[in-house]
Structure 1
Amino acid sequence: MISASARLLRLVALLAARPSWTCGELADRMAVAERTVRRDIAKLRELGYAVESDPGPWGGYRLRAGARVPPLILDDEEALAVAVGMREAALSGALGGNQAALSALLKLRQVLPRRIAERMGEMDATFVHTPRSDEPQIPAGLLLELATACRRGERARLSYRDWEGRATVRDVDPYRLVHAERRWYFVARDVTQAQWRTFRADRVERLQPTGQLVELIDPPDPALLVSRSVATGPYPLHATIRLPMPMDRALRLIPSSVGAHRPDGPDATIVDIGGPDAEGLAGYLLSLATPLHVLSPEVVRQALLRRIQELFEHNANGQLPIEATPPGGTTRPSETGIPFGQSLEGQ
């Protein structure tokens, strides 16, 4: 005789297998009395399953969508298909900046039977995710390790290689994973420097738990931290400008991968932008073709004024105008070797 919990799981699987069952059919399939079926149906309803019934001797039971998510019963092939789908959603960022697919995949992998987990591992070893030309390749297993570290609240030893190829090992307190601009970022507190940092997930070589539990005090907004790091982190010069437009319009003009935005009232936005030098920043600002005010530094404001004056003089004399820096960046070499507009954060 099977246990009550196993019987309930069997009943859910039967209800999901076809549109309707009579009480007698369910009793025959489960080798129990019809009274037991009715009692189990009532229990399923208590658990959140929306089981409908039609009265009369020929009435039946059917499963419809409920108001909340009850336990879900999957067979081997269904569980594998769901795991593969969530894996691809996590790798591609198809669901945007949230971690829903990655979190669900983490939970599912923890409860998968060994036979299914082994098949998933075999598929991980053979599947190839083809990213865009500027999208880094990140193993699904690495994302799961980082997500697990964030959930555990446990200090870890991070082996990391920065944008210059320098390898470092440091102790970190993991906090969040953030998906932005087709990349995954690992947000953690650098224990030695006592600072919150962002790390490109594709540059993480290893993350080893130390077993030391930590309590994070006043953690930052992870999305805002990543946005600022992407926009200004690697550059030697930073400018702050004011745009006379709401933040939603400012974000369309200057994407979050280029600037860190904050509202300045309902009709204006302050944006921090990083660049290789004053001339490069001035060229980019000029290419925006919109009114703006350079708040700081003075060297960028003067460079922009020179560019505008040169453009005016060239047009006044009938000469060809100077070429402004395109919004996507410039290939002009800089002292740092960092192309303007390219994200090299997480150093």
Structure 2
Amino acid sequence: MSDTTARVLRLLSLLQQRPVWTGPELAERLGVTTRSIRRDVERLRGLGYPVQATQGLGGGYQLGRGKDLPPLLLDDDEAVAIAVSLRLAAGGTVTGASEAALSTLAKLDQVMPPRLRSEVKAIHQSTETLSSNADLVDGDVLLTLAKACRDLMRVRFGYVARDGVATERWVEPVRLVATGRRWYLMAWCVEREDWRTFRLDRMRDATASTWRFKARAHPDPAEYVQNAISRAPYSNQAQVLVKAPLADVADRIDTRWVTLTPVDDGTTLLEASDESLEHLAFYCVMTGLECEFVHPPALVASASELADRLRRSAARGARPT
């Protein structure tokens, strides 16, 4: 790298650190004349960086906002700080933040030198987070799968199924789907020659190969994962008629875990699966809408038992002390 190129990059870094710099301040920082600063500013403008210059008191050089976002120049500390923040955001529950953070992290990881990636990993290995209802996913697994989806690389990983059986999977990953509580991978399973969904919290030792595959025509990942979740092979499959239009039901329920089908203008069929019939009944009651439990018959009994328990609890709470 030439001295001029290094100086221009250093100038760009300074302009990104502070709103306004005077010419003499920049010249002093870089050890050059103000004339050299003017030439370097013109070089940055030629590269597409909107460097603005104003005269008078309070004036100086300022990196403006252009039509397109120019490349950012980060020093080591800034790169590590951003990578750590992105890893935390990728595991968060803010709508839209997880997917965007993961995409940005994959790009940053591609250009970070090994020594900085090692620093980021060390920070995460020495940090604990308070537990939540979300199933925790290893950040390295997220990053490995994100890059494999982007680069069309086959991935091998260990997987523990719902029944506890451990297997090795060899897949062609398509897309990561975040539901808020969990992360899923939609992929073509090489051994089973079919599309599959995999929970990331059940994976271990995810490793991307050097085997590049040709992209296949595939279903919409979000819809595929949603259907797989709502019709998952749990022991109980429920069908409930909700006495409200589909739009009203969708406003009151997390549609990521159920399938909603309009029956008529005022009735919606809700289909869901769970290990607990009581949980299914409670889930329907929490909508605040009138429901008719259709299937299975045991769901009616579970709902009645839940109602009796709630009435007894309310009666005890109403007694004078």
Once the 2 structures are TM-superposed, how far is the Cα of residue 213 of structure 1 from its aligned partner? 1.8
- Separation of aligned partners in 1, 2:14 and 2:284: 64
Q: TM-score, normalised by structure 1?
A: 0.73
Give the direction of change, closer, same or farther, for the CA distance of 1:325–1:186 in structure 2 (3 Å limit). farther
How many angstroms apart in 2 are the aligned matches of 1:264 and 1:199? 32
Q: Which moved more, 1:16-25 or 1:103-112?
A: 16-25
Q: Give the residue type in structure 2 aligned to 1:235.
A: Y
Change (3 A) 1:27 1:254: closer
In 2 relative to 1, CA 165–322 (structure 1 residues): closer, same or farther, beyond 3 Å? closer
Distance across 2 between alignment mates of 1:29 and 1:148: 39
Superposed counterparts of 1:82-231, under 5 Å = 82-96=82-96, 98-132=98-132, 134-231=133-230
Secondary structure at 2:167's aligned position in 1?
strand
The Cα RMSD (Å) is 3.6
What is aligned with 1:20?
A: 20
For 1:54 and 1:46, how far apart are their aligned partners in 2?
18
Indicate the residue corresponding to 1:339 in structure 2: none
Q: Per-residue CA shift, 1:6-38, capped at 9, x if unaligned?
A: 222111122234443333443443344544433
Q: State the shift of 1:248 in Å.
A: 5.0
Partner amino acid, structure 1, of 2:225: V
CA offsets 1:148-206 (integer angstroms, 9 cap, x no match): 22222122223211122101113211111111132111211112322221111011012
Query: 1:57 & 1:288 partners in 2: Cα distance?
Result: 62
- Aligned residue among 295, 301, 311 for 1:300: 295
Structure 2 unaligned regions, length at least 5: 309-321
Shift of 1:281: 6.2
Query: Is residue 95–residue 101 contact of structure 1 (8 Å, CA) maintained in 2?
Result: no
SS at 2:150's partner residue?
helix
Further displaced range: 139-148 or 97-106: 97-106
Measure how far apart 1:247 and its partner are: 4.8
User: What residue ranges of structure 1 are gaps of 5+ in the alignment?
Assistant: 311-320, 327-347
Provide TM-score, normalisation by structure 2.
0.78
**CA separation in 2, counterparts of 1:4 and 1:262?**
65
Q: Against the structure 1 CA distance between its residues 169 and 52, is the aligned structure 2 distance closer, same or farther, given a 3 Å change threshold?
A: same
Distance between the aligned counterparts of 2:275 and 2:20, measured in 1? Answer: 67
CA distance in 1, matches of 2:23, 2:283: 72
AA aligned to 1:44 is L
Q: Does the CA-based 8 Å contact 1:286-1:324 persist in structure 2?
A: no
1:268: Cα distance to partner? 6.7
Do the aligned partners of residues 113 and 264 (structure 1) sit closer, same or farther apart at CA in structure 2, a change above 3 Å counting?
Answer: farther
Q: Which has the higher mean CA deviation after the structures are superposed, 79-88 or 280-289?
A: 280-289
Of the structure 1 ranges 23-32 and 192-201, higher mean CA displacement relative to structure 2 is found in 23-32
Taking the TM superposition and a 5 Å limit, the aligned residue runs for 1:36-55 are 36-55=36-55
Identity across matched positions, percent: 36
1:323 counterpart letter in structure 2: E
Point out the more displaced range, 33-42 or 257-266: 257-266
Q: 1:197 to 1:282 in 2, by over 3 A?
A: same
Partner of 1:323 in structure 2? 305
User: Which range moves more in the overlay, 200-209 or 246-255?
Assistant: 246-255
Q: After TM superposition, where is structure 1 displaced by more than 6 Å over at least 4 residues in a row?
A: 263-268, 277-284, 301-304
Count of residue pairs the alignment pairs up: 307
Q: What is the CA distance between 1:52 and its match in structure 2?
A: 1.9
Question: What whole-Å deviation, never above 9, does each CA across 1:227-279 have from its counterpart, x for those lacking one?
Answer: 22222212245455565655553234332354124678998755432256999
Which AA in structure 2 matches 1:171? W
Note if contact 1:241-1:272 (Cα within 8 Å) is conserved in structure 2. yes
Assess if the C-alpha contact under 8 Å between 1:52 and 1:63 holds in 2.
Answer: yes
Per the alignment, residue 74 of structure 2 pairs with 74
SS of aligned partner of 2:174: strand
Q: Distance in 2 between matches of 1:255 and 1:35?
A: 62
